[in-house]
Structure 1
């Protein structure tokens, strides 16, 4: 083809600050075409210009740095550019109820990360790199071990420890896998042959179950529109009709009853979950997707109910699929947009906003629990927060919940990114994630105080949940380092503590992970003392599971990270949830006891060696009444670590008065301490100890 019109214009080697920030094409001229057209000041930052240097030049610079360090001179790190810091800012605008913000991973330029990466290092994050990790159950089904999954993390630690102690792979016969805890007594077919409609409770009983559902999860998630749902409920009980047990509302009603039974019924028969009859019948009656789209608003609520119930049964894959259907159905109806009130009406728009943010939050959290990448770009969302007449706090709670969910997505997309490096790139991503977390610390404490140290006020269930989720973000962002140092401990047990003490920054990051784990247990203990532990849904169980794993790993890395007091409280919380009929908690505790037994063989000065591979102690899979005294190793040394940057005189490690919180200043102090010298130290430590 002739003519200049067929040529492809080459991308400019340099871009102005404005074009780089907005991720748009820049002409490279001074001023560039875009700024000139808009009559804006065009600024080129030489620090952003890409240059090529030889490998010898980089080695020479490293050699000079080593000489300067040996001479005692301080090397000031190069600060991040203002544009990079601005792009990474996690704050949502406080002056607007609109919460539209693109995911951090969408803004990142791969070329920028390639430039800041240390080209001499091939070290990788074992939780998110290398060949995908899988584990097979006894029935032959293979499960993918997601990168950020709590379940996956524990299995990886178990496998690593078992292989080190016994030089053989971890047997999976006694382990529990996705969807294997409960038996719904249903083959999955929607045929109604041989399936009777379960007897619905009386009106008073139904009202009681519905109110329990509203109290237990209605403040966090929107599962049904109260006005429409209750209107049809009264019609159902006052005007019996031939087709009263058909239609989407009846399916919705059965699902709400299933939740109610799950919340109030503490003893189960065998391995059949409470409310299973109602839940199974609802799934059998559920029409296909093409029919659900005829009533998209209520159908999305129904799909949310199904996903949340399945999540409570530890059917994570199925729950993730159903919430994915709900997400697509909601987007197809435009719920993620600013729906026009003047055209659709106030009630419908407010209901759709409640539905959308419930779907959004559940999708973010369930995707993280699966250890999978997030699929929704926040740039496409511009709907507003719902309003609750007479309850501004509920709107604020949804806003905070959304912010924390976005931080979870940021951590998944950066710290656990594919081929994420354990050296410079990994620590910079950790630093960015901690900065996002720190931005919420003071706001969370101010807007949703816990009051755990007050006798005149109980703990708010909403506040407790938000704080638990917040501390889980800290654990999620920092526990890859814990995993790495467990590997160092196994590879070089005599040098691990010395290596760890070499970098105060890395030690403080792990200490932060430990402190947040204790905070989680402290909050759950307060809920337990007031009878507010959530024993059916998986929220509190995930929290206690995450924190206990971290505290069990601590002594294996450094015996000064020993917390018998908090482990005792953790197992007591497990017992409470198990006593309420939660079989998932029973199996989770069993895995922790197995990990406890394995780790206790190794870190002590006189390790307890086992003559044969361990199994679940005391027949725990079949006996929930396992004495707590054998559930964690005896303490030989109280916690004696200096907190360094995290030091707080209000922390009492050996008693029950653990009421201090990590402030924004403390978290940022740790984040800001991550500099180039720490990234180089991390690389050298991994190479020296031949971890990869």
Structure 2
């Protein structure tokens, strides 16, 4: 049989024919013991009732026929079925039919609602469990999420996708009977109408398309734009991601190499005409097409970017080949990684950065054997590596101890180094947060390995505060005078995002506790972070979320035609999520939050230019905001009716709420058909889960602390 053909599951060997059968009356052990004897390891007589139970005067109960006939095999089979049900989210097929969606949701809801786990066919474990981890993904830190094409990938705790999956499970608990019709049979969850149902049904999903092949149009790798077009493209690129054409004293927060001297059309294998040098410019042109003004964006700009990216890949050739000019190869890979981030191909960008760092290690650059431009390029790679590590919740490519280069210094022929230095220091803090605060890849130094989670969280917050306090004047920003340098604005947004990331697990648990208290004891004191034991972390996270939304507004005022980069949209989206959760905790009135409205408009505008990332963010934020408004409306209606009827929690009549239901199939989850939140009693599964939320430790989402 070919190794590529599926192999049949091996069957049990037949019973040895020479084995002598023993008559039932001559057996020394009974085939099945009663439950009492079995649990206490006593010898059962096998009678009904058995001698021990009869002498003790108790009821003698034997296991059911299914259990006794199969013995331990049936028990093991049931355990396998339950385990495969727990793996349903990570291993669900991409073609999610109506029958597929129900197990996907029930994996996250059967524990809460008391419904049995989904039954998996006996043929499913062999096919589904192949290549899966030995423990369920949600039993450890991080998540195994699958994209629309069915490809499963690991995303760690700092990943926004992992946090969103926690949010989806949370909202599934609050809306356990969200309507399935008429969209449950849709093969693509993103095609559902713009309601909270779409958000709930996307549990276990990751919205990117990284598993799809990159576009490879047929192009001439030696082709170059006109001289005027190249000047415009490089000027836009430098303004967007490098040194702002020398207009600002920060010098920018990245360095990509010399992009001022224009290439000359025509083939060649030396100097400026080499394939590696031309690949650098093609990668720069691809990135420039992504940063073009609103009037020049759209399908044409996207196609031009894909063509330039394909030329760069063709000119680079075999990535395993030793480069003639390692610095140019590294710069090209860095720009390609940045471009891939912009088009939401994070895994591909991760690979590009890893290859570039490998080249730097091979040539001793990270040990200091490099000039100032090469040093700045290596630090840019370091920044990208830490950013992707944080974005994906994965370990960085190289440890800090392996980087022995000095920080950038001022050189007359290069832009100022202040912005790049500050960005490097912030990237170091980001690495600490990912590796130690979230324990993705904890450093084993004496100063960190034995620290409790609260110490790592406090230390990360202190590091961020020290970074902000030590900023030079050109990089500062306050509420009175916003900085006009876009690079500084992005740097400040990166800082505030790390503050949000550090405090987010604590804040999320605080929100869950506030919701639980409101469900169990309605009419209590409104939630506020003032009385919380981790008040300083929560208030810092809320303040930083507000700052990022304000800076985004400021960037729009500076240049309304400027396109927001992937990182900026990421910061805005995460800040808006925090604001929506704050509305949930405070049970805010159903008045549109101006900051959330701004974020939605910004994401929708960018999505109209063809950005899949902005579209996915807009869909998620719309659904979550709608669910929060619906839940708050239910809470206020519940409290109002309780006050009118003089009822206490758990005494409401389901009939009293019949007039609040929407027609079946309307798709609305506002004051919806599920009455469990209005009829809580101490014996309910949902009630016990709410109590469990109230008892959660503030640091329980910072995983894998083995102090």
Normalised by the length of structure 1, the TM-score is 0.61
- After the TM superposition, which residues 282-431 of structure 1 pair with which residues of structure 2 at under 5 Å, given as runs? 282-339=312-369, 349-390=371-412, 394-417=416-439, 425-431=452-458
Q: Deviations over 1:87-132 (max 9, x none)?
A: xxxxxxxxxxxxxxxxxxxxxxxxxxxxxxxxxxxxxxx9997364
Contact 1:148 1:369 (8 Å CA) reproduced: yes
Aligned to 1:200: 224
Aligned to 1:467: 492
Give the Å deviation of 1:211. 1.3
CA spacing shift, 1:464–1:419, aligned 2, 3 Å:
closer
Aligned to 1:523: 551
Q: Deviations over 1:466-517 (max 9, x none)?
A: 2111111110100001222333345443468769779433234222211110
Give the Å deviation of 1:551. 0.5
- After the TM superposition, which residues 212-231 of structure 1 pair with which residues of structure 2 at under 5 Å, given as runs? 212-219=236-243, 220=252, 222=254, 224-226=256-258, 230-231=260-261
Contact 2:289 2:304 (8 Å CA) reproduced: yes
Give the Å deviation of 1:204. 1.4
Give the Å deviation of 1:595. 1.1
Q: Distance in 2 between matches of 1:615 and 1:309?
A: 39
Structure 2 residue 617 is matched with structure 1 residue 588: yes
Q: Distance in 1 between matches of 2:140 and 2:232?
A: 52
Q: Distance in 1 between matches of 2:269 and 2:534?
A: 68
CA spacing shift, 1:390–1:271, aligned 2, 3 Å:
closer
Aligned to 2:215: 186
Q: Distance in 1 between matches of 2:161 and 2:455?
A: 26
Aligned partner (choices 570, 575, 583) of residue 547 of structure 1: 575
Aligned to 1:567: 596
Normalised by the length of structure 2, the TM-score is 0.60
CA spacing shift, 1:404–1:241, aligned 2, 3 Å:
closer
- After the TM superposition, which residues 261-272 of structure 1 pair with which residues of structure 2 at under 5 Å, given as runs? 261-264=289-292, 266=294, 267-269=297-299, 272=302
Give the Å deviation of 1:358. 0.5
Give the Å deviation of 1:198. 8.0
Q: Distance in 1 between matches of 2:528 and 2:483?
A: 40
CA spacing shift, 1:326–1:418, aligned 2, 3 Å:
closer
Contact 1:350 1:387 (8 Å CA) reproduced: yes
Aligned to 2:79: none
More divergent stretch after superposition (550-559 vs 485-494): 485-494
SS at match of 1:603: helix
Q: Deviations over 1:371-417 (max 9, x none)?
A: 11235322222212233434998312111111111111111122211
SS at match of 2:321: helix
- After the TM superposition, which residues 59-208 of structure 1 pair with which residues of structure 2 at under 5 Å, given as runs? 130=140, 132-166=142-176, 173-174=189-190, 177=206, 179-180=208-209, 186=215, 195-197=219-221, 199-208=223-232
Q: Deviations over 1:400-442 (max 9, x none)?
A: 111111111111122211599xxx9322221111111111222
Q: Distance in 1 between matches of 2:269 and 2:532?
A: 72
Q: Distance in 2 between matches of 1:242 and 1:327?
A: 25
Aligned to 1:506: 534
CA spacing shift, 1:367–1:360, aligned 2, 3 Å:
same
Q: Distance in 2 between matches of 1:312 and 1:150?
A: 16
Aligned to 1:435: 462
Contact 1:182 1:273 (8 Å CA) reproduced: no
Aligned partner (choices 488, 509, 518) of residue 484 of structure 1: 509
SS at match of 2:577: helix
Contact 2:241 2:487 (8 Å CA) reproduced: no
Q: Deviations over 1:541-562 (max 9, x none)?
A: 1110110111111121223699
Q: Distance in 1 between matches of 2:269 and 2:468?
A: 56
Contact 1:198 1:278 (8 Å CA) reproduced: no
More divergent stretch after superposition (304-313 vs 155-164): 155-164
Rg larger in structure: 2
SS at match of 1:505: coil
CA spacing shift, 1:274–1:441, aligned 2, 3 Å:
same
Q: Distance in 1 between matches of 2:416 and 2:368?
A: 20
Q: Deviations over 1:45-64 (max 9, x none)?
A: xxxxxxxxxxxxxxxxxxxx
SS at match of 1:515: helix
CA spacing shift, 1:589–1:151, aligned 2, 3 Å:
same
SS at match of 1:289: coil
SS at match of 1:336: helix
Give the Å deviation of 1:217. 0.7
Contact 1:500 1:507 (8 Å CA) reproduced: no
Q: Distance in 2 between matches of 1:134 and 1:508?
A: 32
CA spacing shift, 1:532–1:215, aligned 2, 3 Å:
farther
Q: Distance in 2 between matches of 1:183 and 1:134?
A: 18
Q: Distance in 1 between matches of 2:236 and 2:213?
A: 22
Aligned to 2:584: 556
Unaligned runs of 5+ in 2: 1-135, 191-201, 244-251, 443-450, 639-659, 670-691
Q: Distance in 1 between matches of 2:214 and 2:350?
A: 21
RMSD: 4.2
The alignment of Structure 1 onto Structure 2 pairs a total of residues equal to 481
Q: Distance in 1 between matches of 2:209 and 2:666?
A: 22
